[in-house]
Amino acid sequence: MIAPRTVLTRLLTHPAFILAAIAALFFGCSWLSGGTVQILTFLMLNILLAQSMNLLTGIAGQISLGHAGFYGMGAYASGILMKTAGLPFVVSIPLAAAIGALSGYLVSFPAGRVREFYLAMMTLAFGLIFREVVREWDGLTGGAVGLSNVPSTTLKNLSVFGVTLDAIDYFRIVVIVTAIVMWLVHNFIQSRHGRAFYAVHASEVAAGCLGIPRAGTKRQAYTIGAGMAGLAGGLYAHMIGYLGPESFDLARSIEVLVTTVVGGLGSMAGQILSAIVFTFLPEKLQVFAQYQFIVYGAILAFTLILLPRGLAGLLLLPPRFIKPASLRRAGTAGVAIRPVDSDRNAALVVEGVTMRFGGLTAVDDVSLELHPGRITALIGPNGSGKSTLVNVVSGIYQPTAGDIRFFGESIAGLPDHRIAGKGLLRTFQDPRLVPRFTVRENLLLGAHRRYRTSGLAAALSLPSAVREEAAFLASVDAVTRMAGIADVADRPLESLPYGYRRLVEVGRALLAEPRAALLDEPAAGLSEAEMALLARMIRAMKDAGLMVLLIEHHMDFVAELVDDVVVLDSGRIIYHGDIEGMRKSPAVIEAYLGTSETEGAHA
Partner 1 sequence: MEDFLTLLLAGVSVGAVYGLIAIGLNLTFWTTRTMNFGQGSVMMLCAMLTANLIARGWMQGLAILAALAVIVVLMVFTEMYTVRPALKIEGSMGWAVSTLGVGIILQGCAALWFGSQAVAFPDVIFSAVDDVVIFGVHVSLQYIAVVVLALALVVVFELLVRGTVWGRAMRAVAMDQDFAAVIGIPVRAIVLGSYIASGLLAGISGILVAQIGGTVDPAFGFDLVIFGFVAAVLGGMGSTPGALAGGIVAGVLQQMVGGYISSAAQHGMAFALLILILVVRPQGLFGQREINKV
Partner 2 sequence: MTLKRRELLSFTGAAAAGGTLGFARRARAADPIKVGFTTALTGPFNEFGEGYKRGIEIAIEKINKAGGVLGRPIEIGVMLDDQLIPDRSVQNMRRILDDKSIVGLFCPSGSGPTLAVIDMIAADGRPTMNPQAQTPTVIYPNGPGGKPRPNVYTFSIQNDIEANFMAALLAKKFTRIGLLNESTGYGKTGSELIKAGIAAANKDAVVTNESYNQKDQDMTAQLVRVQRARSEALMVVGLGADMAVIRKNMTRMNMTIPFFTSAGGLSPPYVEGAGDLAAGTKGSQFKKISTVPPAPETKEFLDAYKAKYGADRLWGTDPEVPTPSMGGTVATGYDGMLVMADAFRRAGTTDAAAVIKAMDATKGFPGCNCTYEFTPEKHHAIKIGDLTTYEFVKKDGRMTLVPTAI
- Report d(CA 441, CA 490) in Å as an integer: 8
Q: Nearest approach, Cβ of 396 to partner 1 (angstroms)?
A: 5
- Count CB atoms within 10 A of the CB of residue 366: 24
What is the distance between the alpha carbons of residues 271 and 286, in angstroms, rounded to a whole number? 23
Of 5, 12, 21, 146, the residue at the interface with partner 2 (CB under 8 A) is: 146
Q: Which helix (H) or strand (E) holds 370?
A: strand 360-370
Nearer to partner 2, 132 or 430 (CB): 132
Nearer to partner 1 among residue 97 and residue 107 (C-beta): 107
Q: How far is the CB of 132 from partner 2 (least distance, A)?
A: 8
> Binding residue for partner 1 (CB under 8 A) from 4, 11, 91, 118?
118
Q: How far apart are CA 143 and CA 76, in angstroms?
A: 11
Backbone dihedral angles phi then psi of residue 423, each to the nearest 5 degrees: 105, 10
266 binds partner 1 (CB under 8 A): no
Please give the residues from 72 up to 111 whose contact with partner 1 meets the rule CB under 8 A.
Answer: 109-110
Name, in order, each residue with C-beta under 8 angstroms of 560's C-beta and a sequence gap of 6 or more: 535
Picked from partner 1, partner 2, none, the partner binding residue 156 (CB below 5 to 8 A depending on kind) is: partner 2
**Angstrom distances, CA of residue 107 to CA of 64, 476, 482:** 10, 37, 45
Contacts of 191 (CB under 8 A, 6+ apart): 323, 455, 458, 459, 465, 469
Q: Environment class of residue 202 by beta-carbon count within 10 Å: exposed (0-12), middle (13-18) or buried (19+)?
A: middle
Binding mask 219-238 for partner 2 (x = CB under 8 A): --------------------
Terminal alpha carbon distance of the chain: 57
C-beta of 120 vs 168, nearer to partner 1: 120
User: Which position among 63, 155, 325, 486 is part of the footprint of partner 1 (CB under 8 A)?
Assistant: 63
Going from the C-alpha of 29 to that of each of 25, 37, 158, 175, 381, the distances in angstroms are 6, 7, 19, 11, 73
SS3 163: strand
Let me know: does 175 contact 181? Beta carbons within 8 Å.
no
Q: Which does 517 bind (CB under 5 to 8 A by kind): partner 1, partner 2, none?
A: none
Instruction: Look at residue 256 and give its three-state secondary structure.
Output: helix
Point out which residues pair with 354 in neighbouring strands.
401
117 binds partner 1 (CB under 8 A): yes
Binding region for partner 2 (CB under 8 A) out of 33-41, 109-117, 562-570, 587-595: 33-41
Cβ distance to partner 1 smaller for residue 187 or 220: 220
Nearer to partner 2, 143 or 484 (CB): 143
The CA–CA distances, whole Å, from 38 to 131, 179, 275 equal 26, 18, 15
Strand, helix or coil for residue 460: helix
Instruction: Decide: is 244 part of the binding site for partner 2 (CB under 8 A).
Output: yes
* Residues 243 to 262 in contact with partner 1, rule: CB under 8 A: 250, 254, 257, 261
Among 23, 140, 304, 401, binds partner 1 (CB under 8 A): 304
Q: How far is the CB of 118 from partner 1 (least distance, A)?
A: 5
- List residues bridging with 378 in a β-sheet: 551, 566
Least Å distance, CB 292 to partner 2, is 8
Q: Supply the minimum distance, in Å, between the C-beta of residue 282 and partner 2.
A: 7
Query: Which residue, 62 or 247, has its beta carbon nearer to partner 2?
Result: 247
Residues 6 or more apart whose CB falls under 8 angstroms from that of 575 comprise 565, 566, 567, 581, 582, 585, 587, 588
Query: Is residue 155 part of the contact set for partner 2 (CB under 8 A)?
Result: yes
Rounded Cα–Cα distance for residues 367 and 354 (Å): 9
Whole-angstrom Cα distance, residue 521 to residue 303? 39
Rounded distance, CA 162 to CA 537, Å? Answer: 66
Work out what residue 407 binds among partner 2, partner 1, none; the CB cut-off runs from 5 to 8 Å by kind: none
The answer to whether residue 241 forms part of the interface with partner 2 (CB under 8 A) is: yes
578 CB-near residues (< 8 Å, 6+ apart): 563, 564, 565
What is the spatial distance between Cα 430 and Cα 501, in angstroms, rounded to a whole number? 10
Size of the site for partner 2 (CB under 8 A): 30
Q: Which among 149-157, 195-203, 446-454, 509-517 is the span making contact with partner 2, rule CB under 8 A?
A: 149-157
Question: Which of partner 2, partner 1, none sits in contact with 110, Cβ below 5 to 8 A by type?
Answer: partner 1
List the x/- string, 454-483, binding to partner 1 by CB under 8 A.
Answer: ------------------------------
Q: x-or-dash pattern for partner 2, window 104-143, by CB under 8 A?
A: -------------------------------xx-x----x
117 touches which of partner 1, partner 2, none (CB within 5 to 8 A by kind)?
partner 1
Torsions phi, psi for 137 (to 5 deg): -85, 65
Q: Does 399 bind partner 1 (CB under 8 A)?
A: no
Residue 74 in contact with partner 2, rule: CB under 8 A: no
Per CB under 8 A, the list member of 3, 90, 287, 294 interacting with partner 1 is 294
Q: What residue 10 binds from partner 2, partner 1, none (CB within 5 to 8 A, per partner kind)?
A: none
By CB under 8 A, is residue 435 in contact with partner 1?
Answer: yes
Q: Which of 364, 263, 355 is nearest to 569 (CA)?
A: 364
In the complex, least distance from residue 73 CB atom to partner 2, rounded to whole angstroms: 17
Site for partner 2 in 34-53 (CB under 8 A): 34-35, 38-39, 42
Residue 43 vs 262, nearer CB to partner 1: 262
Calpha distance 244→134 (Å, rounded): 9
Q: Enumerate binding residues for partner 2 (CB under 8 A).
A: 33-35, 38-39, 42, 135-136, 138, 143-146, 148, 154-156, 240-242, 244, 246-247, 251, 282-283, 286, 289-290, 292
Q: Enumerate binding residues for partner 1 (CB under 8 A).
A: 61, 63, 65, 109-110, 113-118, 120-122, 124-126, 128-129, 132-133, 136, 201-202, 205, 250, 254, 257, 261, 290-302, 304-305, 308, 391, 396, 435
